[in-house]
Structure 1
Amino acid sequence: MGFPEEAIPARVAENLVVECGIPPRTAWRLASELSLDVAAHHYNAATGDPRAGMRGTRIWEYEQWPDRGVRPTVAALRVLAGVYGTNWKSLLGLRDLEQLPAKDLAEYHADAEPAAPLVPVPPARTAARGETRPDEEIGASALDDAILLTQTNVDDVQLDDLWADLDFLGGAYTRTAPDAILGQLTVIDERTSALLKGRQRPKQTQDLLLVGAKCSAMMAWIAGDLGRYRLSRQLNSAAWLYTQYADDFLARRWVRTSQARVAFWSGNGVESARLAADGLNYHVGGRLTDAPLILAEARGWSSVQAEPQVLDAIARWTSIEDPDLGAGGEDRFFNITKDRRHYMAGTSLLSVGQASAALREFTTAREAYEKLPREHRWEAMDPMIRIDTGRAHLRLGDLDGAAAQVEPVLAADVGKQPDMVHAMLKVLATELNEPRWRAAATARDLAEAVLDAHVSARP
């Protein structure tokens, strides 16, 4: 149409604002034909430091303001304006000016550089009933409307970052305080929720839903470890909603694994077993093995001493148990390690009176735990294996053997251990107070020490 090349971005930006209702900062970036990440790269280069901290996600947050996101500073607007080839005042619309701090607004008006016209978006035109329209007008905006579908607030870098953060935190949980991991997962959850409120391509939306499902399931698992079961159930409900919209079998397995765990430790073993059994209906190949869910099913039934169901589940697990299954992989948070698998089998067998078989499983669990690299050891496993090994010795009439297992736990600080460690200490104290041990001074002293450790650790 005869415009000089240098004038085209300004005309494109103007039309994106007026005709499409796109906010000025987004309009100028699109008119400059820059992705979020490329714009961030140019921003960092313009500051003279290619390693500066601007990222595509932050530019996207600037573009979402003032509805949400982050308010850009005047200094940031000046740099972005240089990247887009305009002036910083052109990157602000009327709604932005309404929300600017007084100092920034005064600087806006004091700056002699003219701003691009702030044209309000016209209302959509609707044809009156019976009004005829020329053929050339019919569908004239269809292509423009379709092009809007290509606009997205997400890119592959952001999605890769979210997945990488989840994988890192899943691996770090074995060696980091649960509260710290829960806090970092909350940040990922908030980032994911903010992104889902924008516009994505269908595949990107599904990826964000899967991130939300996994993140919420991990948060529920950890909140349960901290004894915050009401929060756990809420988080698992959110995770399940994510999976319903994502329609992904692997995500459903993540959530059912977390739901079964939380249900068991909050006192609903039968529900735990049923959730675990349902999770097994979602076949996903080798990414998330059947072992955690089968063992969760066995443990759930053990809470009501349902021996046939427990033994059936243990037999199914034994037939598929892979002794070489390690702690690696992107689903290592849910693919529990060998020590934890044999510990779960042992607790299930112990609850239905199979003390000798349980003791063998606990022995294997102890050996597997000690072979793990320290970074893959879950700290809580040491006291839990010792406590339940002690309980197995009690069932077999070996009080001295029980004391030898439990005393190292009592000598350590259990105050920071997950809630299930304290729950098992309470169970052990109850069993030491059974009639068969009342006459034994060792049992009385041990029961008193166990209760002291349990009570002193409570908040």
Structure 2
Amino acid sequence: MSRQVKPGSKPYRAQLRDRLAALGFPEEAIPAKVAENLIVECGVPPRTAWRLASELSLDVAAHQYNAVTGDPRAGMRGTRIWEYEQWPERGVRPTVAALRVLAQVYGTSWKSLLGLRDLEQLPAKDLAEYHAEAEPVAAQAPESVASPPARAVALVETRPEEEIGAGALDDAILLTKTNVDDAQLDDLWADLDFLGGAYTRTAPQSILGQLAVIEERASALLKGRQRPKQAQDLLLIGAKSTAMMAWIAGDLGRYRLSRELSSAAWLYTQYADDFLARRWVRTSQARVAFWAGNGVESAKLAADGLNYHVGGRLTDAPLILAEARGWSSVQAEPQVLDAIARWTTIENPDLGAGGDDAFFNITKDRRHYMAGTSLLSVGQASAALREFTTAREAYEKLSLEHRWEAMDPMIRIDTGRAHLRLDDLDGAAAQVEPVLATDVGKQPDMVRAMLKILAAELAGPRWRSAATARNLAEAVLDAHASARP
């Protein structure tokens, strides 16, 4: 190449086309040679190589796919073509029928869209079809285009003075080229918002996997060329998706993965340089640190998150309550009461469950539950019980789609603990027994953690001689043991 450019990039492909044209290749033969070079020299997988050689974005390729099928409203989308390109390492295996349509879009044969690793993973029926079909006829061309002709180098070295800087405009125009469009970004944001809302009613592992796809797409796009605003959008998508993944991994008890995801999320925010993104990540980090047993770290992360003022999109409440809960783990009563007082002054009982940041803007039931657990940990049992009562009422008013299933057992367990502190064993049993009748194994890791704490309190000196307490403690321990992953 005459100038150093990233292998496989759009400038690289533009220079490659110029070299091929200079070697006498007809225009219609150039895409195939570009695809061949991307595969052999740059290690680009075949389906991606052919799309890039055709200079098509994912969404434009999907549009042309639908046009080839004769139905512009057909279901192919850029996201699905991206998933086809990730297979077999991840993503979705394309059918032979899909490959045939893509081949028409790219002007090649469907067999050329499959590499060796693809063939090794094909079903036997598809592999038989692959071998049954004749090989496409290769275009005749010089054996190699790996290095530029010596004459071209000489021309560069001896060009006249008036040509110096003549390519500057072309270089600047490259800045307008982008591998991403607004439709792709809108899709990514829409998918994030949907998954954030779906977490309350969908298996965490499923949401975690779908978020990973979004993060991988954003990361893959960032390796290309974008305008500054598009690049920042992709960085924000990376930050939000990994912060959500860290939160969910913590819910599943996978704290090592959660810490790695948190580090990745914070790195995205550093490059995005966005206060809202930093709030997302600190909210997630504070939550994970608390449930991993690092209460003081949780409080400090939450306090740092409050330094990033964003004007209402993500309220202060989740971070203030996380700060209170973190300090409660070490019975730091002054800090807990101070945080609860700050939260009380800003609490908005009408704050709903919707919005772009619904995942981090926790609902009213969860806010009052967090306040209650913090108060309970510093000996404020009566105040905690009031908060748990409000949390229960708020939970029951939520529509089913906005209820987080884990809140019911968590409110019941900690309400039971508050009753124990107030010497009401029967009240505690009434709260906890419905939890024990359910499948605790389906609940997040923190439910099991709270059951363990409850069992320890029932086995303490205060209740050791009470048969009801012993029986309840045994039932709680049995539920905890049966729920181990």
TM-score by length of 1: 0.84
Conservation of the 8 A alpha-carbon contact between 2:302 and 2:320: yes
| TM-superposition CA deviations, 1:214-272 (whole Å, max 9, x none) | 11111111111111111111111110011011111111000000000010001010000
Q: Is 1:47 equivalent to 2:72 in the alignment?
A: no
Conservation of the 8 A alpha-carbon contact between 1:60 and 1:153: no
Q: How does 1:58-457 map to 2 (within 5 A)?
A: 110-111=135-136, 114=139, 120=145, 122-123=147-148, 133-457=159-483
Aligned mates of 2:93, 2:175 — CA distance in 1: 26
Aligned mates of 2:254, 2:264 — CA distance in 1: 16
Give the SS at the match of 1:227.
coil
**AA partner of residue 288 (structure 1):** L
What does residue 3 of structure 1 align with? none
Shift in alpha-carbon separation, 1:442–1:193, aligned structure 2, 3 A: same
**AA partner of residue 230 (structure 1):** R
Q: Percent identity?
A: 79
**AA partner of residue 64 (structure 2):** H
Aligned mates of 1:409, 1:14 — CA distance in 2: 63
| TM-superposition CA deviations, 1:171-207 (whole Å, max 9, x none) | 1111111112112212222222222222222222211
| TM-superposition CA deviations, 1:277-309 (whole Å, max 9, x none) | 000000011110000000000000000010000
Q: CA deviation at 1:349?
A: 0.5
Number of aligned residues: 445
Give the SS at the match of 2:423.
coil
| TM-superposition CA deviations, 1:81-112 (whole Å, max 9, x none) | 7657x6669x989xx99999799999999545
Cα RMSD after superposing both structures: 3.8
Moved more, 75-84 or 40-49: 75-84
Q: CA deviation at 1:316?
A: 0.3
**AA partner of residue 218 (structure 1):** M
Conservation of the 8 A alpha-carbon contact between 1:224 and 1:262: yes
Conservation of the 8 A alpha-carbon contact between 1:347 and 1:388: yes
Q: CA deviation at 1:29?
A: 3.8
Q: Which runs of 5+ in 2 are unaligned?
A: 1-24, 121-126
Aligned mates of 1:184, 1:76 — CA distance in 2: 22
**AA partner of residue 145 (structure 2):** P
Q: CA deviation at 1:151?
A: 2.8
Aligned mates of 2:149, 2:322 — CA distance in 1: 57
Moved more, 49-58 or 347-356: 49-58
Aligned mates of 2:100, 2:471 — CA distance in 1: 73
| TM-superposition CA deviations, 1:301-331 (whole Å, max 9, x none) | 0000100000000000000000000100010
Conservation of the 8 A alpha-carbon contact between 2:59 and 2:184: no
Q: CA deviation at 1:338?
A: 0.3
Moved more, 246-255 or 409-418: 409-418
Give the SS at the match of 1:334.
coil
Aligned mates of 1:387, 1:110 — CA distance in 2: 67
Shift in alpha-carbon separation, 1:364–1:46, aligned structure 2, 3 A: same
| TM-superposition CA deviations, 1:318-377 (whole Å, max 9, x none) | 000000001000100000000000000000001111111111100100100010001111
Shift in alpha-carbon separation, 1:313–1:424, aligned structure 2, 3 A: same
Conservation of the 8 A alpha-carbon contact between 2:240 and 2:277: yes
Conservation of the 8 A alpha-carbon contact between 1:358 and 1:392: yes
Aligned mates of 2:388, 2:373 — CA distance in 1: 8
Conservation of the 8 A alpha-carbon contact between 2:35 and 2:50: no
Conservation of the 8 A alpha-carbon contact between 2:29 and 2:139: no
Give the SS at the match of 1:282.
coil
Aligned mates of 1:316, 1:274 — CA distance in 2: 16
Q: How does 1:19-58 map to 2 (within 5 A)?
A: 25=50, 29-30=54-55, 36-57=58-79
Shift in alpha-carbon separation, 1:44–1:402, aligned structure 2, 3 A: same
**AA partner of residue 328 (structure 1):** G
Shift in alpha-carbon separation, 1:48–1:368, aligned structure 2, 3 A: same
Aligned mates of 2:471, 2:327 — CA distance in 1: 32
Aligned mates of 1:419, 1:69 — CA distance in 2: 28
Conservation of the 8 A alpha-carbon contact between 1:25 and 1:63: no
Aligned mates of 1:40, 1:267 — CA distance in 2: 47
**AA partner of residue 42 (structure 1):** Q
Aligned mates of 1:109, 1:141 — CA distance in 2: 45
Shift in alpha-carbon separation, 1:451–1:143, aligned structure 2, 3 A: same
Shift in alpha-carbon separation, 1:321–1:25, aligned structure 2, 3 A: same
Aligned mates of 1:108, 1:143 — CA distance in 2: 48
Aligned mates of 2:462, 2:237 — CA distance in 1: 52
Aligned mates of 1:141, 1:92 — CA distance in 2: 35
Give the SS at the match of 2:177.
coil
Conservation of the 8 A alpha-carbon contact between 2:109 and 2:136: no
Aligned mates of 2:87, 2:396 — CA distance in 1: 52
Shift in alpha-carbon separation, 1:193–1:366, aligned structure 2, 3 A: same
Aligned mates of 1:286, 1:249 — CA distance in 2: 12
